């Protein structure tokens, strides 16, 4: 049951998307506006923090205005203002935090601080008729994170393992850059892989010892680099035909997916749980979604996947989680600041 007067406006600026959304009752998305900065960072092959902060300043007010207009709601109809204040790029976070604090003060609304990783986990609940259930193992895979959690409820999560070097999304972006495919690399590799053979090249799978729930993706990135450039890794030449490019993309993707799925199932067994939640930008990957679904079926576990629109950074997931904090009486004050 959606409660009246529970519409929350959320702002998300932790990395390179300027986003605002209005969500009712933690579930019903009235608007979800995302202004991407991909075209600004593309030529650098990754996010440039200073450029990201400046772009957030230019975009934040129009994005918030559009989110309210699309939701057809006036400030008086809002129950609270929520904002991602951790973790992320500090300059980027501060733009969203300043905007949210200003609105909370001007409109006299409660302010709610949100952890970006917890919001990615919550994304699987948005726009769904069937409520998710706890406890569960959650895998968050994005450009900044690759972490496994034991979730007792949307606000109570315990870290089980994380990457010791690159995040999975970072590996996708770097491999796309090695193959000269463009930025962000994840969606491009996902598409290109459909034409490639995932068994063509045996790239290494890094398991980090028996029972480990940590991840490492720097080795596979280097393996792709050596495969592409031969033993002379300093060479800038990339002479690959379309089939080789697709085979490398598909083989790399399969190696990453094997490890992500394998460690999630290991976490389920270690924790004695039977539910999996998948979130973060890389969870939009079609091979990962399919591989995780098959593995969960075999393990007799239930899988909760975010809808594709809520996998990459957005503010709807922030507004959704904020509803639970508002109900629990967990509010921030106007001294709120960003935490990298």
Binding site for ligand KG4 (CB under 6 A): 15, 142-144, 169, 172-173, 184-187, 190, 280-282, 284-285, 312-313
Taking the complex as a whole, the smallest distance from the CB of residue 254 to ligand KG4 amounts, in Å, to: 12
CA distance 171 to 275: 27
Instruction: Between 12 and 247, name the residue whose CB sits nearer to Zn ion.
Output: 12
Partner whose footprint covers residue 96, from Zn ion, ligand KG4, none (CB < 5 to 8 Å by kind): none
For the purposes of burial, counting CB atoms within 10 Å of the CB of 226, is it exposed (0-12), middle (13-18) or buried (19 or more)? exposed
Partner whose footprint covers residue 285, from Zn ion, ligand KG4, none (CB < 5 to 8 Å by kind): ligand KG4
Taking the complex as a whole, the smallest distance from the CB of residue 144 to Zn ion amounts, in Å, to: 6
Taking the complex as a whole, the smallest distance from the CB of residue 269 to ligand KG4 amounts, in Å, to: 26
Partner whose footprint covers residue 184, from Zn ion, ligand KG4, none (CB < 5 to 8 Å by kind): ligand KG4
Strands 275-279 and 136-141: parallel
Taking the complex as a whole, the smallest distance from the CB of residue 226 to Zn ion amounts, in Å, to: 30
**259 CB contacts (<8 Å, ≥6 apart)?**
205, 206, 207, 215
Binding residues (CB under 5 A) for Zn ion: these are 142, 313
CA distance 111 to 109: 6
Q: CA torsion sign, 63 to 65 to 70 to 73?
A: positive
Instruction: Between 170 and 247, name the residue whose CB sits nearer to Zn ion.
Output: 170
Instruction: Between 23 and 201, name the residue whose CB sits nearer to Zn ion.
Output: 23
Instruction: Between 251 and 312, name the residue whose CB sits nearer to ligand KG4.
Output: 312
H helix or E strand, kind and range, residue 218: helix 218-229
Taking the complex as a whole, the smallest distance from the CB of residue 114 to ligand KG4 amounts, in Å, to: 13
Instruction: Between 260 and 266, name the residue whose CB sits nearer to Zn ion.
Output: 260
DSSP string across 22-87: EEETTTEEEEEEEEE-HHHHGGGTS--HHHHHHHHHHHHHHHHHHHHHHHT--GGGEEEEEEEEES
Taking the complex as a whole, the smallest distance from the CB of residue 189 to ligand KG4 amounts, in Å, to: 6
Instruction: Between 254 and 285, name the residue whose CB sits nearer to ligand KG4.
Output: 285
Q: In this structure, what token pair is assigned to residue 152?
A: 């007792």
CA distance 55 to 214: 34
Partner whose footprint covers residue 147, from Zn ion, ligand KG4, none (CB < 5 to 8 Å by kind): none
H helix or E strand, kind and range, residue 296: helix 286-299
Partner whose footprint covers residue 169, from Zn ion, ligand KG4, none (CB < 5 to 8 Å by kind): ligand KG4
């Amino acid at each position: 049951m959606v409660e009246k007067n529970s519409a929350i406006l959320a702002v998300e600026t932790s990395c390179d998307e300027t986003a605002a959304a209005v969500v009712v009752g933690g579930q019903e998305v009235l608007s979800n506006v995302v202004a991407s900065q991909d075209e600004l960072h593309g030529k650098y092959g990754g996010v440039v923090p200073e450029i990201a902060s400046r772009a957030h300043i230019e975009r934040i007010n129009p994005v918030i205005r559009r989110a309210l207009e699309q939701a057809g709601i006036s400030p008086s109809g809002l129950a609270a203002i929520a904002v991602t204040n951790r973790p992320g790029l500090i300059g980027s976070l501060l733009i969203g935090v300043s905007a949210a604090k200003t609105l909370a003060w001007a409109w006299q609304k409660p302010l709610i601080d949100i952890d970006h990783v917890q919001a990615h986990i919550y994304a699987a609940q948005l726009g769904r008729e069937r409520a998710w259930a706890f406890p569960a193992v959650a895998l968050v895979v994005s450009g900044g994170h690759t972490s496994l959690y034991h979730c007792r409820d949307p606000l109570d999560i315990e870290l089980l393992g994380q990457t010791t070097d690159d995040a999975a999304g970072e590996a996708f972006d770097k491999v796309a850059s090695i193959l000269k495919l463009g930025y962000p690399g994840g969606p491009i590799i996902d598409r290109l892989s459909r034409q490639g053979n995932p068994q063509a090249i045996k790239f290494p799978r890094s398991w980090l010892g028996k029972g480990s729930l940590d991840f490492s993706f720097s080795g596979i990135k280097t393996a792709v680099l050596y495969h592409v450039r031969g033993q002379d890794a300093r060479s800038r030449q990339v002479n690959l035909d379309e089939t080789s490019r697709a085979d490398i993309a598909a083989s790399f993707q399969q190696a990453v997916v094997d490890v992500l799925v394998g460690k999630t199932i290991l976490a389920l067994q270690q924790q004695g749980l039977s539910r999996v939640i998948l979130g973060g930008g890389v969870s939009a990957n079609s091979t990962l979604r399919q591989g995780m679904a098959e593995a969960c079926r075999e393990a007799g576990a239930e899988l909760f996947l975010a809808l594709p629109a809520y996998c990459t950074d957005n503010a709807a997931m922030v507004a959704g989680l904020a509803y639970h904090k508002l109900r629990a009486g967990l509010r921030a004050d106007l001294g709120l600041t960003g935490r990298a």
